[in-house]
A and B are shown apart, each in its own frame.
Chain A
Amino acid sequence: MTAPTAPGTSAGAPATAARAPQQVRRRGGLERGRRREAIGLVMPSLLPILVLSVAPLVMGIALAFTDARLVRHPDYQFVGIDNFVRLADNSFFWDSFRIGLIWAVSVTVLQLVLALGLAQLLNSGLRLQGLTRVLALIPWAMPPVVVAIMWKMIYSPNAGPLNAFLGAIGLPDDINWLADFSTALPAVIVVGVWVGMPQTTVTLLAGLQQIPGELHEAASMDGANAWRRFTAVTWPSLRPIVASITSLNFIWNFNSFSLVYVLTEGGPGGRTMLPMLFTYLEAFKNRNIGYAAAMGVVLVVVVVLLLAVYLRSQFRDDRAPKKG
């Protein structure tokens, strides 16, 4: 914030001048040179980002207001908010949207709960920690396509270990997990949790390790039991980390594509048709990219709004106890 070499914004200039006496070594011309150097150093990173991601983002939003189609010689016109009006009536899109929310919320919540449990265990001096830590990273390390292939084998109706296990303990063993209307979504949610749990665990573990041991000791001295120590010491200290990791998880999960694409391709009967899959099919199978871009815009706006509400409530909760 107080760097003397900040680029010459109108706000930055007076601040620099005010600090000049302390910064005898860095004066006018020299500083301008350094600034130019900094811009030169950043440029190689900035250029591809501008061309390949900022420009596309802006163009993508613009596309949403056109009737563009994915054909060899595209000829498209501005159609105003037509795409959005059509979208409002597209019940398939809203079905997929609802599925996407169920998916993202369940995966995020289950990830948090399971990861919190695992992080606590990893932080309580048990044996086998090394093994568990390595295992906890495996799901994170695997390519999504391989994860999907692996779980397809687990869920396989005939030769899969899951049905074999269920059969062995006397439960129905003929469930076609990924093809049955009622089990497909829960089944892919489990895989989503499996994939995302490690990262959440590692993050929460880092948070747990920062809580000073004295806090727990003090609480025990006051006669607090385990649950009380968790609610009074652990949870409040973790709150900021929980807020940031759940927000990120929610975004990642809502935007997730590869895993479910390979597991079910959105089937059976659209029961696992996440919004990203739906939009992808609209763009690259039906070739309506203008329409698909409009879907993308709606998805982004909704996600940003949901996050804003969530983060605001987190922020407010944080401030309340301080005032009281």
Chain B
Amino acid sequence: MRVLVRPAQYVALFGYILFLGFPLLWLISASVKSSAELNSLTVSLLPGQWQWENYAQALARQGLVHSAWNSVVVALASTALVILIAMPAAYVLARLKGAIRVAGVGWILVSQVFPVILIILPLFLILRTMNLTDSLVGLTLVHTTYTLPFALWMLQGYVAGIPTELEEAGSMDGASRLSVLRRIVFPLLAPGIVATAMFSFVSSWNEFFFALVLLQSPENYTLPITLTSFIGGEGKVALGPLAAGSFLAAIPSIVFFSIMQRKLTGGLMAGAVKG
């Protein structure tokens, strides 16, 4: 019995690796296959010959680079906004333990339950009165608001890890609260800020629903919207360039998650669950 446990475990592990990893492998393989090979009936994972033409084609494709640029702009702007407004609030959330904390944490939890559909309807009306529906500014505002709760949650966790003694020492030396924040807390918070910024960037970069509802003119499309517009319509799509473009679109998130791998598997989620 005992002897069989390990092999069985490895078989199971291999099954998981296959299930989790195969789709991405397939996407990459499709992105370097020629269109003749993609449409042929003999299907194989390894491409007959590697060719990078699909990437060139995807990048040359009208709108792809432009919408990637739009995505970068929206993601950077909303990340900057999120960090700027979340930093002070996260500090308060972590340090005060009264009603503000209860309300803040309560809000973060409630926002996870939020039915986006119920919010997008009036939000659409509000943004329309401000002429911000078909605009990257409007999308940036919406992304900022929807990333904020989780960003606050992450940041306040990092603040809680900074010993209060350090701050007390600072204020004993006569520094004001603000200069304690600026000179002691924020520098120590740097890793947390980097992680939160990466999270905000990726959330905005990946976001589809709000962009779909808000953006109407192709010159405003973000990358996910442009990618979906490549699938639909004329039916037979150029699979190779689509695969190449999709893989490029996934790179920022993959990089972020590889860097965050240890953090994510370790403390962050455990903390989030224990509350």
Decide yes or no whether A320 CB sits under 8 A from chain B: no
Decide yes or no whether B239 CB sits under 8 A from chain A: yes
Decide yes or no whether A218 CB sits under 8 A from chain B: no
Inter-chain contact B269/A202, CB cutoff 8 Å: yes
Which residues of chain A in 243-265 are interfacial with respect to chain B, using CB atoms and an 8 Å cutoff?
Answer: 244-245, 248, 251-252, 255, 257-258, 261-262
Inter-chain contact A210/B270, CB cutoff 8 Å: yes
Which residues of chain A in 283-310 are interfacial with respect to chain B, using CB atoms and an 8 Å cutoff?
Answer: 283-284, 289, 292-293, 295-297, 299-300, 303-304, 307
Contact of B122 among A55, A121, A143 (CB under 8 A): A55
Shortest C-beta distance, B147 to chain A (Å), equals 11
Inter-chain contact A292/B10, CB cutoff 8 Å: no
Inter-chain contact A133/B265, CB cutoff 8 Å: yes
* B264 contacts across to A, CB distance below 8 A: 137, 202
Binds A, one of B13-21, B48-56, B189-197: B13-21
Inter-chain contact A7/B98, CB cutoff 8 Å: yes
Take A38-B96, A52-B123, A153-B27 as given contacts and tell me if A257 and B118 are in contact as well, using a CB distance cutoff of 8 Å: no
Contact of B209 among A46, A203, A252, A257 (CB under 8 A): A257
Smallest Cβ-Cβ distance to B232: which chain A residue: A265
Decide yes or no whether B258 CB sits under 8 A from chain A: yes
Inter-chain contact A203/B145, CB cutoff 8 Å: no
How big is the A interface, by class? 35 or more
From A126, A140, A142, name the one whose CB has the most chain B CB atoms within 10 angstroms: A142
Contact of A42 among B20, B88, B202, B270 (CB under 8 A): B88
Instruction: Tally A-B pairs: CB < 8 A.
Output: 280
Take A2-B97, A142-B250, A292-B121 as given contacts and tell me if A194 and B224 are in contact as well, using a CB distance cutoff of 8 Å: no
Inter-chain contact A145/B24, CB cutoff 8 Å: no
Interface digits, B212-244 against A, CB 8 Å rule (1 contact, 0 not)? 110000000001100110010000000100110
Which residues of chain A in 57-74 are interfacial with respect to chain B, using CB atoms and an 8 Å cutoff?
Answer: 57, 59-61, 63, 70, 74
Inter-chain contact B23/A144, CB cutoff 8 Å: no
Inter-chain contact A143/B117, CB cutoff 8 Å: no
The docked-state distance in angstroms from the alpha carbon of A202 to that of B262 is 10
The docked-state distance in angstroms from the alpha carbon of A245 to that of B16 is 20
Smallest Cβ-Cβ distance to A9: which chain B residue: B99
Which residues of chain B in 59-104 are interfacial with respect to chain A, using CB atoms and an 8 Å cutoff?
Answer: 84-86, 88-89, 91-93, 96-101, 104
Take A138-B20, A143-B250, A150-B27 as given contacts and tell me if A159 and B205 are in contact as well, using a CB distance cutoff of 8 Å: no
Decide yes or no whether A169 CB sits under 8 A from chain B: no
* A121 contacts across to B, CB distance below 8 A: 9, 12-13, 16
Inter-chain contact B96/A6, CB cutoff 8 Å: yes
Contact of B20 among A70, A139, A252, A280 (CB under 8 A): A139
Contact of B13 among A126, A255, A258, A299 (CB under 8 A): A126
Inter-chain contact A45/B118, CB cutoff 8 Å: no
From A6, A52, A134, A149, name the one whose CB has the most chain B CB atoms within 10 angstroms: A149
| Residue contacts A-B, CB under 8 angstroms, 13 given | A5-B96, A9-B99, A48-B141, A141-B257, A142-B250, A149-B243, A161-B26, A161-B45, A198-B20, A261-B208, A276-B117, A283-B117, A297-B118
